[in-house]
Structure formats: structure tokens, C-alpha cells
Structure 1
Amino acid sequence: MTFDKTTVAFGLAFLLSYGLTPLIRLIAKKTGAMCYPNQRSVHRVPIPYLGGVSMYLASVIAMFAVRTGENTAFPAVALGGLVILIVGLVDDLWPLKPWQKLIGQFLSAGVVVKLGVSISFLKNPFSGELLLLGAIALPLTLVWVVSFENLINWSDGLDGLAAGIVGITSTAMIYAMNKAGAVHVAPEAAALAGAAFGFLPFNFHPASIFMGDAGAMYLGLALSVLSVQGLVKSAVAMSILAPILTLMVPISDMAFSILRRKLSGRAASQADRDHIHHRLLELGMSQRQAVLAIYLVSLCFGALGLVSGFVPLSTGGPLAGLAVLGMFAVAYKAGLLSLGSKKTGQDRSRRG
């Protein structure tokens, strides 16, 4: 029964996203909601925004269609997602200052918490004992949601990159949730995967529409809610480990970017062209090659996350640790921690 709901959720979201995106693209063109090239952009012609609207509608409708009486992620994704979608649309059309966007992100996270999504405990991997977080639960959940919103937003730098990463991560979550016992969350993860993959044909290079900040931050919020709900329902670390490891490339990129900017005396929000995807382009890769390379690494990390959840901590821990160390070694070799920056300024070069 659960497998059927998962299949229906994925298929419905995929078809809705695939069908709605051309309509949203037309509306964006008619209303002038366009992303114009700047000094940091990889694209050279204006591209319509608003792709996030089609993914939001597709995923939320699909989640609603397969909802059950269980305490699911649907309300938080739908309402919290609507808040961050509106914040993102405003930022796409009338650029917000970083602090203004951050307020909007915490507002959306507050809606998520208000609707019952909370990291209220963690499982001790050594004893299996549940550690109640008490007063820490609220700020931890807020930071978790906002971090995911920024994580996906920052990774949205090449055609199809963010949509593909979210699709891969959501697919890994489907398997993880079913294996961990969070079977009622799996169809919702499938809906998010279907929406992302349904949008991808229009967003892969050469893209005909971008998801904008609205779409990227919505996808981040949805992933954060699904991962928390999976943990709450299963109390199994794999519910968190699978999405975190699958997102290791954007997580590492975000960490390197903040560290690099702080070491060079710049604000963490000040954009540059030293992200992983920019470095891959400098190495001579085409956009498609760079994106596919990151997809492959994400798939490998996702598989590692799933495997780590089924083996003893003595095995899974070192595996995950080696993977993270390997990512840092590659980043150092590629110069991602160098203090120099090619170009800086406000980041308005969203691709997905």
C-alpha cells in the first residue's frame, strides 16, 4: 500500500511539474519576471524565473493526494513552503537585502515549528538511548530549516544543478524512510522527487526557465521538514544521515565559501565565483559535464549514507568520516579554500 502511494505521489508530482512548467514559463515572460545576465552569470540571455512555483504546486498537490491520517510533513511543507516561496519571489523580482531575506527564512521556519515539526530528540548511536533536547529543540529546528533553505539556494549556480541534487536526495530519502520505518513520510519525499525531476527537462542546460530563489529555498525547506519528520517517526539515524551525505557537495561548498570569505575579511553573504561548480568550469568542463559530475558524486554519497545506516557504527562512522575527509582533500587541491576571489558582489546569478 505504501509503495503504491509512493509511486502515485512521484508520478503525479512529475506530471504536474512537467505540465505546469511551460505555463509558468509563459506567465514569467508575459509579466517580465526574467533573470538578466550580470558579471557573475553563466547564462548570456534573459531567462524566465518562477520555476519554483510549478514545483511547489506539483509537490504540494501530490502530497495532499496521498496524505493519510498520520502526522505527516504535508501541513508544514505546504504552509511553510508558501511563506518561503513568497519571500523568494519578492527577492527574485525586487532583490532583498541579506538581512531581509534572513528574516523571511526564519519566518518560514517558525511556521514549520508552529505546525509541529521539531527536532525534539537525538538518538545516541552508541547506546541507542534517545536524548531529549528540551529547550534546545526550538532553536535547533529553526537553524536546521534555514540552513537547508540556504544550502539549496547557494547550490543553484548551474542549469539543472539544484533540481537534480534535490531529486537525487529525495529519492535516497524514499528508500531510507521505508527502511527506517517512516513509511508515511516516504510518499511525501516521492512527491518532492517527482516535482524536481519533472522540472529538470526545462532546467537542464540549456535552461529555458530558472527556479529562482523562490524555488531553491522552497526545495530546501521541504527537504528539511521531510528529514526531521523521518527522524521523529523512526528514531533511526539513517533518516538524517542519508540526506546529509547526499547533500555533501553543497554542504561542503557552503562551508568552504563561508570559511573562505571570513578568512579574507569579507561578509559570508558576499558572492564570488569560487564555488565548486565555478571551479569545475574553470577546469575546462562544460556546464553539462560539471553538473553531471556533481550528480555522480551526490549519488555516491547518497549510497554511502544508505549503507552507513545498515552497518554497525564502528563501520559506518569511519566510512562517513573518510568520505568527508576526502571531500575536504579534493576541495583543498582544487583551491576552494584559497583567499582569492574572481569576482564579488550581490549574488543575482541564480540558474535553477
Structure 2
Amino acid sequence: MENNALLGLVLALVGTTALALLLRGPARRVGLVDHPSVRKTHCTPTPLTGGIALFLAASAGLLLAAPETPGLIPVLAGGALLVGFGAFDDIREIDYRLRFLVQAAAAACLVLGADVRVESLGNLLGFGEIQLGLLSVPFSIFAIVGLINAINMLDGLDGLAGGVTIVSLAALLLAAAAAVPVLVMPALVLAAAVLGFLLVNYRFPWRKRAPVFMGDAGSTFLGYCLAWFVIALPQQAPDTVTPIAALWLVGLPVADTLATIWRRKRQGLCAFDAGHNHIHHLLQRAGFGINATVLLILCASAAFALIGLDHIFLDSLPEPYLSYLFVAAIAVVYKLLQHVAPLRRLLRGRVAEDAPNQPPIEQGAEE
């Protein structure tokens, strides 16, 4: 069994890297390529093979290393639906309403097929435990679709969505080790697959751009997998992992998505159209390079996760306080979306005045 576990981890890691590179030729032939546009940072057509590679290698690794994981087949069935539709969407953009319908069907595989659902919100407001009862299934599907789109919306820079997923998976892995050991190996396999993808997606010093992207196929699959763990942990160990603590483990993408939707609504824009107002867009607009932006967001993601882990292991803050703190965190992200770019430009303007003979730094320059 230990040999199978090791082989599964190696297969997930190496398989993702190898498949992402090997599938580039076929991807170009069928049009599975991300072309440059005004709202994208890359300047050359890039194959979208990372998502398919992630799913295939992670599935093989899970079946080999963790075949006894509860509900594994329905989980993978939902993932296959997301990846297949996501790849089609990457080739030919689909209306967002149909996307939501497919995502809800994949979420139903997780909720109804694998029996992974939100049954309680815990003592969220301080007035006692909130049991969902008959609302459990629709609320769970809504929550899964929400996290799927939170990771999808964050996938805007090389290494960003994969890096944030790794941070959350690391936190979820620690929580699983303390409360639900049966989920430890699945989390390890998925983390290995994401690391394999980052090997061909992150901008290392010796590589100016990523040779492959994950596309919607990959980002939706990663959001789906995170939702699996975020819901399963408090469901199986409610005394150790409360729902609000689990939410903090994936808090940054959720807070960014909610703050962005709030801001778009106030500007009279559609919440579901592609735009330039996520936190990574505004950090770049403020003058941070791609790697600096990714690093800042990863640090913020780790800070969110640490608050959740603090509640799981130390219980420093009661559940209601943690809930109200999360609302405050969304407000902080919203304010950052409003003010970080102007503040950064102001500071850079002052630096330029102090050093007039130095050449200016280009906005959004690559590192």
C-alpha cells in the first residue's frame, strides 16, 4: 500500500508536467490555445493543456494511491464533466449561464453522488448552531459553484491560481491530518499534481513566460477539488473543523470574488463578465510586476489560511468573531481594490520627483 501511495504521488507530479508539455501539439491543432488580447498579460499564443493534464494525472494518482477514498468515483465524475466542458469553453467561449448549469451538475455529483454537503453552518452568528436541513443540498451546490468560479476568476497570471491552490491545499492537509486522516492522501496527490503544473507555468528566473496555461478546464477543476475538502472536513469532523474555519482556508479567492462582484455591481457592470478589477489586475496596474503580484497574493492567501488553522488548532477566536472578521476582510479587500493602484502611483510619483534623472519604471513590467 505504501508503494502504491508513493507511485500515485510520483504519477501525479510527473504525469502533470509531462502531459502538459506533450499535449501542446494536439492542442494547437484543435484550437485549444489562449490568444493574446487587451485584458491578458501574455503576448504569444499559449496552449491550454494544463487543466487536462492536471485532471488525468491527479485522477490516475488518486485511483492508485487512495482508491478507498469515500465517494472517489462520483468526485472524479464531476471533475471529468468540468474539465471536458472547460476544454470546450477554452476553444469556443460559452455563455456564462450554460457554464453555471454544467458547474451545478458537477457540484451535484459531489453533493448527491459522494454525499459531500454542508449540513450545518456552525455557530456562525453567535446565536447557536445553524442547521440547514432541507436547504443542505441547494446551499452545497451553490457553495461549490461559488468556489469553482472564485479560483477561475483568480486565474489571471502565471503561477497565481496554482500557487493559491497549493497554499490552501497545504492548510487543508494540516486540518485533515488532525481531523480526517482519510483525506490526507487525496490532498497530497492533488498537491503533487498542482506542483507538477507549476513546474511548467510559474515564471522562474530562467523562463520569461509560461509554456502552458491551465485554462478554464484546470481552474474550475481546482476550485471543485478545494470545495470537496472545504465541505468534507467540517462534515466529517465538526468538533475540530468548523465551517467558518474551513472557509478561511480558502479565504482569499472567496474574499476577492465577493469584493469584485460588489464593486462591479456598484459600477453598474455585470458581475459575471470578464474584467480588469480583480486584485491581481489592480496590483499590476499599481506598478507591481507579475512575480511580485503573485508573491503578494500568495502571502495574503497564507495569512487567511493561518487564521483558519489558528481556530482549528488553538481556538483563539470564537466562531462568531471569526465570521465577523471574514466580513471585515471582504471589506478590506474591497477598499484595496479601490485604493491600492492610486496609492502606489502616488508613491512612485514621489520617488520620481526625488530622483528625476532615473528612468521611470514601466507599468506592469515583467520581472
Q: Which TM-score tier does this pair reach, normalised by the shorter chain?
A: 0.7 to 0.9
Q: 1:14 maps to which residue? A: 13
Query: What is aligned with 2:230?
Result: 227
Compare 327-336 and 92-101 and name the one that shifted more: 327-336
| Structure 2 partner of 1:106 | 104
Q: Percent identity?
A: 28
CA distance in 1, matches of 2:129, 2:335: 37
Aligned residue in 2 for 1:210: 213
CA distance in 2, matches of 1:90, 1:238: 37
Do the aligned partners of 2:9 and 2:192 also contact (CA within 8 Å) in 1?
A: yes
Matching residue's letter, 1:211: M
CA distance in 2, matches of 1:307, 1:9: 31
Equivalent position of 2:154 in the other structure: 155
Q: Deviation at 1:328?
A: 2.8
Q: Distance in 1 between the 2:104 and 2:222 partners?
A: 15
TM-aligned CA distance change 1:173 to 1:9, over 3 Å: farther
Counterpart of 2:138 in structure 1 is: 139
1:317-349: CA deviations, max 9, x gaps? 5467546535633541441699xxxxxxxxxxx
Partner of 2:291: 288
Contact 1:331 1:337 in 2 (8 A): no
Q: Which residue of 2 aligns with 1:349?
A: none
Q: Report whether the alignment pairs 1:304 with 2:307.
A: yes
Cα separation, 1, equivalents of 2:31 and 2:336 = 42
Question: For residue 262 of structure 1, what is the aligned residue in structure 2?
Answer: 265
Matched residues in 1 for 2:87 and 2:327: separation?
34
Match of 1:37 in 2: 36
Offset at 1:151?
0.8
C-alpha deviation, 1:10, in angstroms = 4.0
Encode CA deviations 1:256-278: one digit per residue, 9 max, x unaligned. Answer: 22111111222111222111001
The Cα of 1:96 is off from its aligned counterpart by: 0.3
The separation in 1 between residues aligned to 2:66 and 2:253, in whole angstroms, is 30
Describe how 1:1-352 pairs up with structure 2 within 5 A: 9-69=8-68, 72-115=70-113, 116-124=115-123, 132-180=131-179, 182-205=180-203, 206-236=209-239, 238=241, 240-241=243-244, 243-312=246-315, 314=317, 318=321, 321-322=324-325, 325-326=328-329, 328-329=331-332, 331-335=334-338
Could you state the TM-score of these two structures normalised by the residue count of structure 1? 0.86
8 Å contact 2:124–2:319 — kept in the other structure?
no
In the aligned structure 1, how far is the partner of 2:246 from the partner of 2:237? 15
TM-fit CA distance, 1:168:
1.3
Q: Report the Cα offset of residue 286 of structure 1.
A: 0.7
Which structure would you say has the larger Rg? 2
Whole-angstrom CA distance in 2 between matches of 1:124 and 1:257: 27
Q: CA RMSD in A?
A: 2.9
SS of residue in 2 equivalent to 1:238: coil
CA distance in 1, matches of 2:163, 2:302: 10
Deviation at residue 184 of structure 1 after TM alignment: 0.4
Q: In structure 1, the residue corresponding to 2:338 is in which secondary structure? A: coil
d(CA) in 1 for partners of 2:27, 2:245 = 35
Structure 1 unaligned residues grouped into runs of 5+ = 339-352
1:87-143 superposed Cα distances (whole Å, 9 cap, x missing partner): 11111111101111111111111222231222234444799x876432111101110
- How far apart in 2 are the matches of 1:132 and 1:84? 29
With over 3 angstroms needed to count, the CA separation of the structure-2 counterparts of 1:279 and 1:337, relative to structure 1, is closer
Could you tell me the TM-score, scaled by structure 2's length?
0.82
State whether residues 149 and 219 of structure 1, in contact with CA within 8 Å, keep that contact through their aligned partners in structure 2.
Answer: yes
8 A contact 2:47–2:212 mirrored in 1: yes
Counterpart of 2:37, as a letter, is N
Cα gap change, 1:25/1:309 in structure 2, threshold over 3 Å: closer, same or farther? same
Q: What SS does structure 2 have at the residue aligned with 1:309?
A: helix
Any unmatched runs of 5+ in structure 2?
Answer: 204-208, 342-367
The residue that corresponds to 2:347 in the other structure is none
Residues 213 and 283 from structure 1, CA distance in 2 versus in 1: closer, same or farther, beyond 3 angstroms? same
Question: How many residues are paired up?
Answer: 335
- In the alignment, the residues of structure 2 paired with residue 319 and residue 138 of structure 1 have an alpha-carbon distance, to the nearest angstrom, of 25
Q: Secondary structure at the match of 1:335?
A: helix
- Between stretches 23-32 and 159-168, larger displacement belongs to 23-32
SS at match of 1:290: helix
